Amino acid sequence: MPRIRKIIPGVDPKLLIKDAAKLLPNPTRRLFLRGATSLGALTFFTGCDIVDGDSAERVLRRVSRFNDAAQAWLFDPNKLAPTYPASAITKPFPFNAYYQEDEAPEVAAEGFKLEVGGMIDNKEPWMLDRLYALPQETQITRHVCVEGWSAIGQWTGVRLSEFLRRLGADTRAKYVWFQCAEGYSNTIDMPTALHPQTQLTFKFADEILPRKYGFPMKCRIPTKLGFKNPKHVIGIHVTDKNLGGYWEDQGYNWFSGL
Ligand SMILES: Nc1nc2c(c(=O)[nH]1)N[C@H]1C(S)=C(S)[C@@H](COP(=O)(O)O)O[C@H]1N2
Ligand SMILES: [Mo]
């Protein structure tokens, strides 16, 4: 007997397909919408049939996971994000977080220690002056937020790859996880962590990172959307487990590359 494909009650398949397409990177999305606007295509992409039991949310999550794999595969570890002249810097640079600016966490510099853990050899925490003594670089790059704005800023810090080297990190591990002071968190893939422009950032516009922009440090990743750039970093773990993140856990696409 042929299997009857039953749509989840209350779900408009056309809308579901449109939502799913949103999660795909652009060329894939265009192809998907042009040639394959069918539930069959969705089934093909996600490997799951939209039959009873498969919730729309689960289907979308699978598309997102498919998308992570496709994007990770497309990610070129040597391709650089564009850089800009100082005259292009956006002033004032926008603040954004899941709370208001005056609620940004206040991390005390005195006695601060960055916790490091997971698949690394050297697990002693790092005091700020030791971090500030690391070799540093400055980048002027564009920060792109999913909420519909972008801005160019100047960030200074140590390459994350260099910091990981000093930790004796096992770079065969799959992920790097960031823990933030106010409960935000973020996981990135190792190729992104080792990208030459991925920076453990201590300064914004030549000043020690102001509170609103992520004191004591942030991770600046110009190849990723804004929400994958954690501010107020207090812990870094090298891990084989994708520990997710604040927005990723709420359904944002995990890879979120640019
Ligand atoms: N700790 C922490 N990091 C965070 C966020 C946050 O709420 N908490 N918001 C993210 C989002 S969505 C954006 S767009 C950028 C904003 O950084 P900015 O304030 O430097 O513009 O920080 C990202 N990193
Ligand atoms: Mo954002």
pLDDT tens-digit series, residues 169-187: 999 999 999 999 999 999 9
Q: Which atom, in ligand 1's list, is nearest to the CA of 182?
A: 1
Question: Which protein residue's CA is at the shortest distance from atom 17 of ligand 1?
Answer: 96
> Whose CA is closest to 194, among 167, 166, 225, 165?
165
- State the Cα–Cα distance between residues 157 and 135, nearest whole angstrom: 8
What average pLDDT does this structure show over 56-66?
70
Q: Which atom, in ligand 1's list, is nearest to the CA of 180?
A: 1
Least confident of 31-45, 117-131, 156-170: 31-45
Domains, the chain, in order of start with CATH, read 13-74 (no CATH), 86-250 (3.90.420.10)
Least confident of 20-29, 69-78, 235-244: 20-29
**Residue 54: count of CB within 10 angstroms of its CB:** 16
Has residue 3 got a pLDDT over 50? no
Let me know how long the chain is.
Answer: 258
57: helix, coil or strand? Answer: helix
- Residues with Cβ–ion distance below 5 A, ligand 2: 145, 226-227
Has residue 16 got a pLDDT over 80? no
Helix (H) or strand (E) holding 161: helix 160-167
Please tell me whether the overall predicted TM-score, pTM, comes out greater than 0.85 for this model.
Answer: no
Q: Which atom, in ligand 1's list, is nearest to the CA of 105?
A: 1
Per-residue pLDDT of 142-160, as tens digits, reads 998 878 789 999 999 999 9
Question: Which protein residue's CA is at the shortest distance from atom 21 of ligand 1?
Answer: 95
Question: Which protein residue's CA is at the shortest distance from atom 10 of ligand 1?
Answer: 227
- State the Cα–Cα distance between residues 223 and 76, nearest whole angstrom: 10
- State the Cα–Cα distance between residues 12 and 7, nearest whole angstrom: 8
- State the Cα–Cα distance between residues 12 and 151, nearest whole angstrom: 37
Structure tokens at 235: 């812990």
CA 41–ligand 1 middle distance (angstroms): 35
CA 59–ligand 2 middle distance (angstroms): 25
**Residue 123: count of CB within 10 angstroms of its CB:** 11
So what's the pLDDT on residue 148? 78
What CA–CA distances, in Å, run from 214 to 51, 111, 144?
45, 17, 16
Question: Which protein residue's CA is at the shortest distance from atom 9 of ligand 1?
Answer: 97
* End-to-end Cα separation, the chain, in angstroms: 46
CA 96–ligand 1 middle distance (angstroms): 5
Task: Find the residues whose C-beta lies inside 6 A of ligand 1.
Answer: 94-98, 145, 180, 182, 184, 213, 226-227, 229-232
Q: Which atom, in ligand 1's list, is nearest to the CA of 213?
A: 20
CA 226–ligand 1 middle distance (angstroms): 6
So what's the pLDDT on residue 52? 43
Beta partners for 220? 199
Structure tokens at 255: 């890879």
